[in-house]
């Protein structure tokens, strides 16, 4: 939920993931990590971009408003 004083999300691109792996692991009480391995995305025109390896972190995993 976005509160009135919080900025809106901005999307520059939406890309299809065409290769690689994503594994979500809950690592703490309210934390989840998701390593991206070998991620390749594809633009609407078919051009592919290799993103490589990264890790996503959500430190409010399981926290919901209300």
Beta bridge partners of 40: 19, 50
List the structure tokens of 47: 């051009």
In the predicted structure, residue 49 carries a pLDDT above the cut 90:
yes
For residue range 24-43, list pLDDT tens digits in order: 888 877 888 889 999 999 99
pTM of the model: 0.61
3-state secondary structure the chain: CCCCCCCCCCCCCCCEEEEEEECCEEEECCEEEEEEEEEEEECCCCCEEEEEEEEEEECCCCCCCC
Q: Is 55 left (phi over 0), alpha (psi -120 to 50) or beta?
A: beta
> Residue 63: pLDDT above 70?
no
């Amino acid at each position: 939920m976005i509160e009135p004083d919080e900025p809106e999300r901005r999307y520059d691109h939406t890309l299809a993931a065409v290769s690689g792996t994503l594994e979500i692991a809950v690592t703490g009480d309210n934390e989840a990590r998701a390593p991206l391995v070998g991620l390749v995305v594809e633009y609407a025109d078919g051009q592919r971009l290799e993103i490589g390896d990264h890790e996503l972190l959500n430190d409010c995993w399981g926290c919901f408003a209300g």
